[in-house]
Amino acid sequence: MTDLFAPILPQPDPDWAEAFRVPIVECGQPLQALGIATGFAVWPAYHRLGVPNALPECHARSEIFERLLHAASLLPDGIRLVILDAWRPFAVQQHLYDTLYDILRQHEPDADPAELTRRTREFVAPPSTRAESPSPHLTGGAIDLTLCDRDGRWLEMGSLFDEATPRSYTRHYEEIAQPDEAQRLARDNRRMLFNAMSAAGFSNLSSEWWHYDYGDQLWAAHLGKPHAIYGPAHVLPLEQLWRQQLEGLRR
């Protein structure tokens, strides 16, 4: 039985160079739209926030869908998962990375560029479309999510989604020796999310309480898997789908 309120144990920060060296053996699972799911809620955050090229739907690999349903089934009655982002177009990844880097540079104009890059990568993965090292969200295996109650009220998680401060580290509230009531609430809500997602096979990005992976290189590196099973994926426009279907008839 999953203990949803077990403490979140220390986890290493990702070594992106090491993760991107993990081989990919693509399994071919299709992307699936999540918006019509009844087992969890979907709120496409970047589209709602007006980020250029963000889609009005969240897509993920088909096994991700099933594992999200499993994680949702472990939560207490009345608590629901809220999917904020999943498959992400490269243009959105580039926009997020460049925007955060520029804001950090403006905030600290004398900072070393290498340090700005390191801090940017804490909260936004390096943009990449390379077949051997795609950005996690480009694979359809990375999920950003939070929790809400049965009426749709978002639970207190101790920081905003995509907040670029130390409070966003998953274990931030675990490290407070004597948390106050609000800090205990955020800690326990993070524990619920972390333990449910871990029990469903996901790994967590240590600097982002909302980010979980399954099947991509970050997941494989974190859990010591011999290879990832998801490479770059694409939500195809209707025209390309028709072409693929007609090509299939010729074979």
Tell me the C-alpha to C-alpha distance, in Å, between residue 23 and each of 10, 14, 26, 54, 167.
26, 16, 9, 28, 33
Q: Which two tokens stand for residue 1?
A: 């039985």
Q: Which of 18, 26, 174, 208 is catalytic?
A: 208
Tell me, letter by letter, the H, E, C secondary structure of 65-119: HHHHHHHHHHCCCCEEEEEEECCCCHHHHHHHHHHHHHHHHHHCCCCCHHHHHHH
Is 144 marked within a binding site? yes
To the query of whether residue 208 is one of the catalytic residues in this protein, the response is yes
Judge whether 137 is annotated as a binding position: yes
Q: Give the residue numbers annotated as catalytic, written as ranges.
A: 208
- Binding-site residue positions for Zn(2+): 137, 144, 211
- Binding-site residue positions: 137, 144, 211
